[in-house]
Structure 1
Amino acid sequence: MHTRSPRAEKRDFDTRHFRHALSQFATGVTVITTKLANGQFLGLTASSFNSVSLEPPLVLWSLGNAANSMPVFSGNSHYVVNVLSDQQAWLAEQFASRKTDRFEGVEYTLSRTGHPILKGASAWFECHNRSRYPEGDHVIFVGEVEHCEFTQQAPLIFHGGQFIHASAK
């Protein structure tokens, strides 16, 4: 069920101010990977990842409406959320770039459904593309986790516009 609250008050800040406020929240960094119909791989960096439910196991992430990859992620049945380790800041940058082959020099294995799992990730979640919710200038993707794994690698953290390397436990 999708419900809306009464209209929000008129805001007293601009987009830049909002971005600065959001940057005070430390997030993990993920690369979402999937496969095109022709077998080519697609991936992008996202820090908008979160858990939704334990039963069933659900996670979410969001993608901007203007993203070139929106039709692929909206239409595909599966994707993999790769949680980057603190040694993988270069992967976050590479998958956020406008580079045509973002997988160049990237080591990966394939999930059960044939989607890329990045080697060295702290964790990964193979998801069925369960539902999508348009909100504002983004679409929220909810994935039902079909398989997941994790390592003892410390995660990569993004805070204040920069990557922070967490120390391992």
Structure 2
Amino acid sequence: MTLTRTTTGAVDEMIDPACFRSVLSHYPTGICAITAIDDGEPTGFVVGTFTSVSLEPPLVGFFPDKKSTTFPKVRRAGAFCANVLSAQDEELCRLFAAKGADRFASVRWRPGPTGSPILERATAWIDCELEQVHEVGDHLLVVGRVVDLATPSADEPPEPLIFHRGRFGSYAPNHATPK
């Protein structure tokens, strides 16, 4: 942590970005591929910042970097689908995270109600109309109104892909009954 002076002369504590990232890496996050159709073509990228925002109305959100070159395509589309990736989809995650990659060349998908791609391998999907975009620090807060959502019809869907302390992994449920 470093100290800096504000324009009023008060001392503010500045959080070191490396320390901030290290501490927050202890909070595991799920991985979603955000997909859309821009000018007739599928587009998408991954986020580890997807969250539920509201039940009534049903709203979700995610936080793309302001420098993202893919998010402007999602914004133009006016709709998106959040595809929850499974623990078996680390390679797919890396593909959707790669700059300049042809992300849909070998990925099977179908259009959702908004037209946004629902990835065949998603463990769950949430199709949304883009509701709001707010600037927050070096990211954007994107809020979507849920149009439709589902999980695979399997009795037990695959475990989600999780990012924790700089590594990919999966959720291992504790089968103990809560007291």
TM (normalized to structure 2)?
A: 0.84
- The 8 Å contact of residues 162 and 168 in structure 2, kept in 1 or not, is answered as yes
The aligned residue for residue 4 of structure 1 is none
Tell me whether 1:156 sits opposite 2:157 in the alignment. Answer: no
Q: Which has the larger radius of gyration?
A: 2
Give the 3 Å change call, closer, same or farther, for CA 36–10 of structure 1 in structure 2. same
1:61 partner letter? F
How far is the alpha carbon of 1:36 from its aligned partner?
1.0
The aligned residue for residue 18 of structure 1 is 20
- The 8 Å contact of residues 32 and 45 in structure 1, kept in 2 or not, is answered as yes
Instruction: List aligned pairs for 1:101-120, cutoff 5 A.
Output: 101-120=102-121
Secondary structure of the equivalent of 1:63?
A: coil
How far is the alpha carbon of 1:167 from its aligned partner?
4.0
Give the 3 Å change call, closer, same or farther, for CA 146–160 of structure 1 in structure 2. same
The aligned residue for residue 78 of structure 1 is 79
1:159 partner letter? H
Q: Distance in 1 between matches of 2:129 and 2:140?
A: 16
Note the alpha carbon deviations across 1:91-110, whole angstroms, 9 max, x for none.
11110001331112111111
Tell me whether 1:55 sits opposite 2:68 in the alignment. Answer: no
The aligned residue for residue 95 of structure 2 is 94
Runs ≥4 residues deviating over 6 A: none
1:142 partner letter? V
Q: Which runs of 5+ in 2 are unaligned?
A: 1-10
TM (normalized to structure 1)?
A: 0.88
How many equivalent residue pairs?
A: 160
Identity value in percent: 35
The aligned residue for residue 3 of structure 1 is none
Q: Distance in 1 between matches of 2:35 and 2:136?
A: 22
CA RMSD of aligned residues (A): 1.6
Secondary structure of the equivalent of 1:87?
A: coil
